[in-house]
Chains A and B, each alone.
Chain A
Amino acid sequence: MTGFGRILLVETRLQLRDIPMLVFSVALPTVILVLLGAVPALRRPDPLFEGHSLVAYLAPSLLIISLAMAGLNALPNVLAGYRERGVLRRLSTTPAAPVSLLAAQLVVNLAIAVLGAVLLIGVGRLFFGIPLPRAPFGFAVAFLLGTGALFALGLLVAAVARSTRTAAGLSTALNMSTMFLGGVYLPRFLLPDVVVRIGDVTPPGVRPLLDAWSGTPPQPAHLAIMATVTVLAGALAAKLFRWE
């Protein structure tokens, strides 16, 4: 992966210049949390929300916004754009490996997802009494596997889309269904039971995140699903990805 360090530096700078993207992926979940948390009633525990306050109950869902924006939106669209505009092809005529650019994009978007999560968890803890994840290790595993699954799906979109338009369409569809199933649009207690169950195990897996946050170790079956999606979608993306 010749040139990786320098490419990563440049990709990071490019990302930092894309302010709207940063706002949407890093800040938006926290902004929503702050708005909801401003209402006192939503900070009180309630049996309706499995004994949590509404903001605590919603936090894992809000987390999904960062993950989906980075993995399902930014990642495939930037990569498809780089391919369509000949950025990858041009790079392949130099001693640098184009795969370095792909890796740099993964790292940058992963950083954004982590940043969004840290901000959300930190603000929730400091201002709204949302406890830090009570099973930190389980939470980290659930977060990494869920993110891995979403990013693998994002790569798959970049691999199968022939143009930036297709990539944009596919990623929007995936992004919106991920957010819907994860309870971003409607709190999960309002969703039909079957949708909640599907959402539990749809990447990034709001159930294992919620479990780990509240102190229950995530169920191995849930984690296994995320790992399987990561491996399958990742392998398929690697097989189908075209550099030009």
Chain B
Amino acid sequence: MPVIEVTNLHKRYGDRIAVHDVSFRVERGEIFGILGPNGAGKTTTVECVAGLRVPDGGGVSVLGLDPRRDAARLRHRVGVQLQESQLPDRIRVREALDLYASFYRAPADRDRLLADLGLANQRNSAYRSLSGGQKQRLSIALALVGNPEVAILDELTTGLDPQGRLETWELVEQVRDRGVTVLLVTHLMAEAERLCDRIAVIDAGRVVAIDTPAGLVGRVVPEQRIRFRPDGELDDGLLADLPEVTSVRRVGGQVVVTGTGNVLHAVTSVLARSRIVVADLRLDQPTLDDALLRLIGPEADR
């Protein structure tokens, strides 16, 4: 049974349709990403999953329960980290954690949580004196203090510097390693690529694709590009004849080969057999960025 199942979710705000038709299933123990441009309907989707909004159509099931009807039971089992939600200025880190822990039947070990989140030295600091990254980590701690089976994390690295982002990513991986199923909303490719086992790409309120990060890249942008500078004569036909190669071009002194599958191995084998030494060999592998660009178009078209 999937931990989260969303079927044909539809949500309007007045005339504006935020979510047209979104379906996905999240399996136990995975980090499932919802990736898409701003305004694609990501947050609305997870808010329906979290029981904060009532869908206008379709179904949502979390741990086999209905987020609205069984809200009281689910709040014990699902931890939610919301975008742009803060705490009172004067509350202290440990105080906030103790307060939230008191809401749950079997809360997590707070000292360990603080240590895991790198907040042990800030335990007596007031919320307003924390840095952006510390606030974000406290917010994640609050989502985890109830020992949830599912954690919903919305845009968790927004406003963090690269170092803070990296630390937060490591943290989410630790959370998953504890057996928590994570539903992660992000608009950052790097974040999705690094963390997610699977990704649903959402654009304009619809799911465009669901796959692993590598699967998305391979499916949408199967081509790889190899560039090198041959030392000596090279007959382009040698490479063009290879089944993996789709094109061979010359750009200045460079040879640019595009192809699919294990094209790098095929090309380097031919070069080795022909005893051609190459310099500046580079393989441009498509990234999730490229895949997303193909899936939802460049920013300017949106």
Contact = CB atoms under 8 A, between A and B. Distances in A.
Interface of A: 2-3, 6-7, 10, 13-14, 17-18, 81-82, 85-87, 89-90, 92-96
B75 A93 contact: yes
Contacts of A13: 95
Given A87-B86, A93-B79, A95-B146, 15 more contacts: A3-B103, A13-B95, A14-B91, A82-B88, A87-B85, A87-B88, A89-B85, A90-B80, A90-B82, A90-B87, A93-B50, A93-B51, A94-B100, A94-B103, A95-B75
A10 B85 contact: no
Nearest to B152: A93
Given A10-B91, A10-B95, A95-B76, A90 B85 contact: yes
A6 B86 contact: no
Contact of B146 (A6, A89, A90, A94): A94
Contact of B99 (A7, A81, A85, A92): A7
A86 B43 CA distance: 15
B52 interface: yes
B88 A14 contact: yes
B85 A86 contact: yes
A93 B153 CA distance: 12
Nearest to A93: B80
Contacts of B78: 93
B72 interface: yes
B269 interface: no
Contacts of A93: 50-52, 75, 78-80, 82
Contacts of B85: 85-87, 89-90
Contacts, number: 61
Of the candidates A85, A90, A93, A95, the one having the most CB atoms from chain B within 10 angstroms of its own CB is A93
B99 A18 contact: no
B95 to A, nearest CB: 6
A94 B76 CA distance: 7
Contacts of B273: none
B82 A2 contact: no
12 contacts: A3-B102, A6-B102, A10-B99, A14-B88, A86-B82, A87-B85, A90-B82, A93-B51, A93-B80, A93-B82, A94-B75, A95-B103
B104 A95 contact: yes
Interface size class of B (residues with CB under 8 A): 20 to 34
A92 B76 contact: no
The list of the 6 closest CB pairs from A to B, nearest first, reads A86-B85, A93-B80, A85-B86, A6-B102, A90-B85, A96-B103
Interface in B252-270: none
A87 B87 contact: yes
B90 A17 contact: yes
Given A85-B86, A86-B82, A92 B91 contact: no
B280 interface: no
Contacts of A82: 88
Nearest to A94: B103
Contacts of B104: 94-95
B84 interface: yes
Interface in B147-181: none
A94 B75 CA distance: 5
Contacts of B88: 14, 81-82, 85, 87
A89 B72 CA distance: 15
A7 B88 CA distance: 12
B14 to A, nearest CB: 16
Contacts of B100: 94
A151 to B, nearest CB: 20
Contacts of B76: 95
Contacts of A14: 88, 90-91
Interface string B61-79: 0000000000010011011
Contacts of A92: 52
A95 B86 contact: no
A85 B76 CA distance: 23
